[in-house]
Structure 1
Amino acid sequence: MTQVDAAETGQSGTGPGSADSGSRWADIGRRANLRRLIRIASQPGPWKRGPVPAALALLLGLFMLLHAEIPNRIGHLGSLAETVLPWFGLFVPVLLAAALWRRSASAVAALLLPVVVWLNLFGGLLGDRSHAGGDLTVVSHNVGADNPDPAGTARHLSASGADLLALEEITPQAKPVYEKRLAKAYPYHSVLGTVGLWSKLPLSDTEPVDIAMDYGPLAATKPADVKATYARSLRATVATHRGPLAVYVAHLGSVRVNPRAGFWTDSRDRGAQSLAKAVAAERNERTVLLGDLNGATDDRAFAGIMSRLRSTQVAAGSGFGFTWPAKFPVVRIDQILVRGVRPESSWSLPATASDHLPVAARISW
């Protein structure tokens, strides 16, 4: 076809297969690539992505690191935070997932702070710290005022083989049941108010310990018989083959969480201070404290007690040893604390009909 023929038929060099068409498509591709490069270049780098999860990770780490600085004046927020402090570690995997989703290197790096702080605070509790042996096995259990099966609870505790058995929250109705069911295994026992101590070894010098509880209209006088009736703590001497052992059984006041008062711990805190004074004045260097303290030992309210005693769970347990509530324990408020003896092992017993788990420990001289 000649040029004249091409002109007449209306054809030119701009068809789909022509050089001009290829050049136009190439220009379009170059412009698209250029826009893509500009868009990629304008996006923040991995160290600039995810400022929110990075900031939250730093705040979490600082919160756990400086938990002792949280004021207690408003709703006892400091005590509340320290009670559930181990659970703040669950925020770490949540923030890690957010950091990976945002592909944020800065957020991942910021997570090192809460991880290191949490491991420093609680990493030692993850392994098994128990040892073989032990001279005495001690058990403490808040049997629960609403326990529907005190006979079964007594049978369960007797089967533990404990040498010393401390019970808290004993009601007048359940007291005869525990005394009858435990009499065969424990020939020595003493009950004062709502707490009691059963022993395979002789007991002496049993007396109530005033832990500053609210006695209502009797608070002004509190004669000895009243203190014994309403006692929530006792002290006794146990005659062991290695010498006398001072044993305290305590049930400190309850705590409450409500919108008006926040974390209400006034009664418990007063009791903890009184108990700390009693332990400080104890002349027997070998001392054991068993009971429901209604708080974790990390709580600053127990600083006076923990400055003189140490936790068997921390020294010789396995894991955190949470005890309450029994169906899904989230905090350890039932404690076995010692001085002058060595904790060999510490553990929780299977659940009874109470809302607390029993706790046990083996100690040696």
Structure 2
Amino acid sequence: MAQQAYMTETDNDGSGPERPTSRFRRLAHRLLGGWRDDPRIWRRGVVTAVVALSLALVMLLHSRIPNRVGNLGSLTETFLPWLGLAVPVLLLVGLLRKSATALIAVLLPAIVWLNLFGGLLTDKSGTGGDLVVATHNVNADNPAPAATAEQVAASGADLLALEELPAPAVATYDRALSGQYPYHAVAGTVGLWSKYPMSQVHPVDIKLGWTRAMRATVATPDGLVAVYVAHMPSVRVKLKAGFTARQRDKSADALGEAIADEPLKRVVLLGDLNGTMNDRSLNAVTSQLRSTQGAAGSGFGFSWPASFPMARIDQIMVKGVEPESSWTLPRTDSDHLPVAARLSLDTES
């Protein structure tokens, strides 16, 4: 009697490269296989679970982290969104360890992060707006000031604020911008270029001993707007001293006082605040104004450093006007990215 042969087909007919779906099934089986019959899934991964819970507590209670030692609280808040990168890492560790305890624990930091920053993942940009504003820390060592000015002006901004202006370069910036902006004023190292008339221009004392902030009344077609331009002192991260930001914090308090005393209802703040909206040390300013990026932007809008943006320290903030959209502009020869916003002047001045 002839022997009958049987042949089993493989997913790829026994030849050729393995299909991606087959590789995915093998990986899924390796990660998830045997969980049901493994009594240790609740005992493994305790360390991973503790790390996940600690991460959730840091994000949830970041405002309670004290600033007494190296301004640790402000440092954490500056880079707070990046703590979310630990969530997928912990998830992968939990899968590799086949730990149900770790996987459940990882849900907590994921939920906290989404509660804090999930709204920034959606595009909230609108199409309206009466006024386009932009701000840029141009860097005192900028090798191409004229080109930088022209790049930012190409955004179509009606108001353009520049910070870190070295005195010898002011004339260069003015020549590059004069064709589009008939009105401008410079106070110390900050300046404002406008398509609309300006009045009541004066420096704002932010307790530095030299001028790095100014205020102007801009007469837009829709009414008067108080425009502030500011460049807060720099902060440093040092091994022994930690996050050194005392002078920045003092200047932020002074700027907050000036804004609180502003008689006009419409207020726009443009500048490099050397801090994020999460940094409690800027509360004197951030408690009074809205961030255009948070209200009408798409994504986090990180602006510094330009080579690999990790934080939004260049801010556009408003009161008495409605943000319609907010975005970062293409990189220039500065170490910061320019940022811009479109505003709706729909309230009475």
TM-score range, shorter chain: 0.7 to 0.9
Instruction: Give the aligned partner of residue 65 of structure 2.
Output: 70
Counterpart Cα distance in 1 of 2:152 and 2:109:
40
Q: 1:98 aligns with which of 93, 100, 108?
A: 93
1:94, distance to aligned residue in structure 2 (A): 0.8
SS in 2 for 1:314: helix
Instruction: Give the aligned partner of residue 282 of structure 2.
Output: 302
1:256, distance to aligned residue in structure 2 (A): 0.6
Counterpart Cα distance in 1 of 2:314 and 2:155:
17
SS in 2 for 1:175: helix
Larger radius of gyration: 1
Counterpart Cα distance in 2 of 1:336 and 1:308:
13
Counterpart Cα distance in 2 of 1:272 and 1:133:
31
Instruction: Give the aligned partner of residue 28 of structure 2.
Output: none
Q: 1:232 aligns with which of 199, 203, 212?
A: 212
1:172, distance to aligned residue in structure 2 (A): 1.0
SS in 2 for 1:197: strand
Aligned structure 1 segments of 4 or more residues deviating by more than 2 angstroms: none
List runs of 5+ in structure 1 lacking aligned partners: 1-39, 216-229
Deviations 1:158-200 (CA, angstroms, capped at 9, x unpaired): 2211100000000012111001111110000000100000000
Instruction: Give the aligned partner of residue 339 of structure 2.
Output: 359
1:45, distance to aligned residue in structure 2 (A): 2.0
SS in 1 for 2:41: coil
State, as a whole percentage, how many aligned pairs show the same letter: 61
Instruction: Give the aligned partner of residue 158 of structure 2.
Output: 163
Instruction: Give the aligned partner of residue 57 of structure 1.
Output: 52
Counterpart Cα distance in 2 of 1:95 and 1:351:
34
Deviations 1:293-319 (CA, angstroms, capped at 9, x unpaired): 001010001112111100000000000
The residue type equivalent to 2:227 in the other structure is V
Deviations 1:324-351 (CA, angstroms, capped at 9, x unpaired): 0101100000000000000000000000
Instruction: Give the aligned partner of residue 111 of structure 1.
Output: 106
Does 2:107 match 1:138?
Answer: no
**TM-score for both structures, normalised by structure 2:** 0.87
Instruction: Give the aligned partner of residue 268 of structure 1.
Output: 248
Alignment of 1:24-43 (within 5 A): none
Alignment of 1:15-30 (within 5 A): none
Counterpart Cα distance in 2 of 1:49 and 1:242:
64
Instruction: Give the aligned partner of residue 257 of structure 1.
Output: 237
1:352, distance to aligned residue in structure 2 (A): 0.5
Deviations 1:201-248 (CA, angstroms, capped at 9, x unpaired): 0000000000011x3xxxxxxxxxxxxxx3100000000112110000
The residue type equivalent to 2:59 in the other structure is M
**TM-score for both structures, normalised by structure 1:** 0.84
Alignment of 1:274-313 (within 5 A): 274-313=254-293
Counterpart Cα distance in 2 of 1:306 and 1:160:
26
Deviations 1:111-134 (CA, angstroms, capped at 9, x unpaired): 111011000000000010010111
Does 2:327 match 1:332?
Answer: no
1:260, distance to aligned residue in structure 2 (A): 2.2
Does 2:173 match 1:153?
Answer: no
Q: 1:347 aligns with which of 302, 312, 327?
A: 327
SS in 2 for 1:45: helix
Instruction: Give the aligned partner of residue 222 of structure 1.
Output: none
List runs of 5+ in structure 2 lacking aligned partners: 1-34
